[in-house]
Chain A
Amino acid sequence: MSLSPENARQAIPESDASESKDLPKVQIRGVNFFYGSHQVLRNVSMDVPALKVTALIGPSGCGKTTLLRCLNRMHDLYPGNRYEGSIQVQPDGTDILGSGVDPIQVRMRFGMVFQKPNPFPKSIYENVAYGLRLQGMNRRRELDERVEKALREAALWEEVKSRLHQMAHNLSGGQQQRLCIARAVATDPDVVLFDEPTSALDPIATSKIEELIVELKKRVTVMIVTHNLQQAGRISDMTAFMYLGELIEFGETNRMFTNPAKPQTEDYISGRFG
């Protein structure tokens, strides 16, 4: 089955967004992942709900980043990596791990924000416009509109509107990370993946980005890896706890933090390890 984001968009009209909230957006089923012969993910299954923030927590090295990067097929860029299982994206039900699916089209549907801000050494404008250009948008007026919209969504517009054509590297670290968010959301992806987006930032920049993520979920599904439990508690609706490559527990954040079902989850949340 081929990916057709156009259909995807028609199937969830914006006015229906509130009703579709509990629909799963991404259904992960029995995913195993191998770096060469080293298995890092073991039989991970979970339903990521649409238009919510889902946090992935767990001790360092448990496979959070690895799972996140399965969703936009980043692992395909390096030789020797292997997936098993399926990841279906609703509403069209495409299995993005399926053979015949073009990883590049998957990446166009899944935006990604990295641990360290990584803007291109180009102008602020060109950073945001790049994804749009890749998807075939070239008309100046359209680009201008989209870039402005994305920068507003990333709460950066007011700070940079007078210097859109200056180098992105002149921005502060927090601004750079918001620029990367603008770059990721400019193309209207279905899901945005965040890999510890605030771990390189100071507390003020961090709280701005947290606010931003909460705003974003009105429009897109968010998955975020964080090593910061308070952060997961503040911004996420759902939390998945991983340990040694396995998904131990997955549920509503409030419930997970107050009343974890599994002893390992409780140990981790109460700070007894990790």
Chain B
Amino acid sequence: MEVFPRTSSRRLDKAVETFMVWVLRAGGWASVLVTFGIVITLVTESWPFFREVPLIRLFQDTMWTPLFAQPQYGIGALLAGTLVTTGVALLVAIPLGTILAIYLSEFADPKFRDWVKPMLELLSAVPTVVYGYFALLSLTPILQKIFPDLPQFSMLSAGLMMGVMIVPYVTSLGEDAMRSVPMLLREGAFALGDGKLGVGLRVVFPGAFSGLAAAYVLAISRAVGETMIVAIAAGLQPKMTMNPLDSAATVTAFIVQVSLGDLPHGSIGYQSIFAAGAALFLMTLGFNLAGHALRRRFHRAT
């Protein structure tokens, strides 16, 4: 009886297996190294800044002018810009995104939905510099017809544009969450004679809430970290103001503004953008982790 070599290549196979495990594991490490790279760079490069500037001044000062001869370090001025633009964006994205999610998951024809959802996702694929261009050159002039005093750069315009950019995140994640609510729960409410919107609001919305909350939280993280739209349309001057009709720099816009100039390694300007970056990292880290946890909780529940 003819026997073919069952075992001849086993040693080679084993060697390849061992080698590949290392190669693949290296890929996993790469992702961790990127995080370490970000954290370590932010910490080491902003270290001199935090050594020079007592933490208390970050909250006491009312202006953010680290590059002036008499520097002020009130990071509140940057945070205010971030807060207002993010707030405006969320006022657009959360209601609109949620309505679209309910509509697509509970009302729309499945064929229409399968066609529309990727189209909507294109909105978040638009390069943000294009949004910035549109906000500054088209949206702001329109808004100036409504608010005649609106300056050329305004947090309102940038925030609205950012809201449009974020809608697909809310809709897409939210719709996924709502659709994974079991049909059985809906049928229970329908059997009692409730309408579709009633079922959507009273059964599906609460059932998908942690999934939706994850979508909202991730949307906040996007808005906080968005850079180009605000750098182009909201202005680059830090200003302690909560008025969306005003112009003000966000944390991200400040980094852009400093980067645009000459930036010698080790200068106070150089250090200050890493300090701003560290603040940004901490904020988004919180939202990202919360979003991740909510999503995991939702997936475990359904």
Report the bound CA distance from A136 to B9 in whole Å. 7
Report the bound CA distance from A9 to B1 in whole Å. 8
Report the bound CA distance from A215 to B106 in whole Å. 55
A142 contacts the other chain (Cβ, under 8 Å)? Answer: yes
Digitize A75-115: 1 where CB-to-B-CB distance is under 8 Å, 0 elsewhere: 00000000000000000000000000010110010000000
Question: How many interface residues does B have (CB within 8 Å)?
Answer: 10
B261 contacts the other chain (Cβ, under 8 Å)? Answer: no
- B1-29 interface (Cβ within 8 A of A): 1, 3-10, 13
Report the bound CA distance from A187 to B10 in whole Å. 16
Most B-side CB within 10 Å, residue of A6, A13, A14, A187: A6
Determine the chain A residues whose CB is within 8 A of the CB of B9 once the complex forms. Answer: 136
Chain B nearest CB from A96 CB (Å) reads 15
Chain A nearest CB from B273 CB (Å) reads 45
A173 contacts the other chain (Cβ, under 8 Å)? Answer: no
Please state if B10 and A142 are interface contacts (CB–CB under 8 Å): no
Residue on B with the closest CB to A108? B6
State which size class the interface on A falls in: 10 to 19
A142: contacting residue among B4, B6, B13, CB under 8 A: B4
Please state if B5 and A135 are interface contacts (CB–CB under 8 Å): yes
B10: contacting residue among A6, A14, A102, CB under 8 A: A102
Determine the chain A residues whose CB is within 8 A of the CB of B13 once the complex forms. Answer: 104
Most B-side CB within 10 Å, residue of A13, A135, A187: A135
Report the bound CA distance from A105 to B6 in whole Å. 8
Residue on A with the closest CB to B5? A136
Please state if B1 and A136 are interface contacts (CB–CB under 8 Å): no
A200 contacts the other chain (Cβ, under 8 Å)? Answer: no
A30 contacts the other chain (Cβ, under 8 Å)? Answer: no
Report the bound CA distance from A238 to B204 in whole Å. 55
Please state if B4 and A135 are interface contacts (CB–CB under 8 Å): yes
Residue on B with the closest CB to A109? B6
A137 contacts the other chain (Cβ, under 8 Å)? Answer: yes
Chain A nearest CB from B237 CB (Å) reads 57
Report the bound CA distance from A102 to B1 in whole Å. 25
Please state if B3 and A105 are interface contacts (CB–CB under 8 Å): no
Please state if B3 and A6 are interface contacts (CB–CB under 8 Å): yes
A105: contacting residue among B5, B7, B8, CB under 8 A: B7
Please state if B6 and A136 are interface contacts (CB–CB under 8 Å): yes
- B49-71 interface (Cβ within 8 A of A): none
Report the bound CA distance from A173 to B102 in whole Å. 39
Determine the chain B residues whose CB is within 8 A of the CB of A13 once the complex forms. Answer: 1
Report the bound CA distance from A6 to B4 in whole Å. 9
Residue on B with the closest CB to A132? B4
Report the bound CA distance from A6 to B6 in whole Å. 9
Q: Knowing A102-B10, A104-B10, A105-B10 touch, does A136 contact B4 (C-beta < 8 A)?
A: yes
Determine the chain A residues whose CB is within 8 A of the CB of B7 once the complex forms. Answer: 105
Determine the chain B residues whose CB is within 8 A of the CB of A136 once the complex forms. Answer: 4-6, 8-9
Residue on A with the closest CB to B7? A105
Q: Knowing A102-B10, A104-B10, A136-B9 touch, does A14 contact B4 (C-beta < 8 A)?
A: no
Determine the chain A residues whose CB is within 8 A of the CB of B5 once the complex forms. Answer: 135-137
Please state if A5 and B10 are interface contacts (CB–CB under 8 Å): no
List 6 extra interface pairs beyond A9-B3, A105-B6, CB under 8 A: A5-B3, A6-B3, A6-B6, A14-B1, A136-B8, A142-B4
Chain A: residues with CB nearer than 8 A to chain B?
5-6, 9, 13-14, 102, 104-105, 108, 132, 135-137, 142, 187
Chain B: residues with CB nearer than 8 A to chain A?
1, 3-10, 13
The 10 closest A-B pairs by CB, nearest first: A136-B5, A135-B6, A136-B9, A137-B4, A136-B8, A6-B3, A5-B6, A108-B6, A9-B1, A9-B3
11 A–B contacts from the bound complex (CB under 8 Å): A6-B3, A9-B1, A9-B3, A104-B10, A108-B6, A132-B4, A135-B4, A135-B6, A136-B5, A136-B6, A187-B6
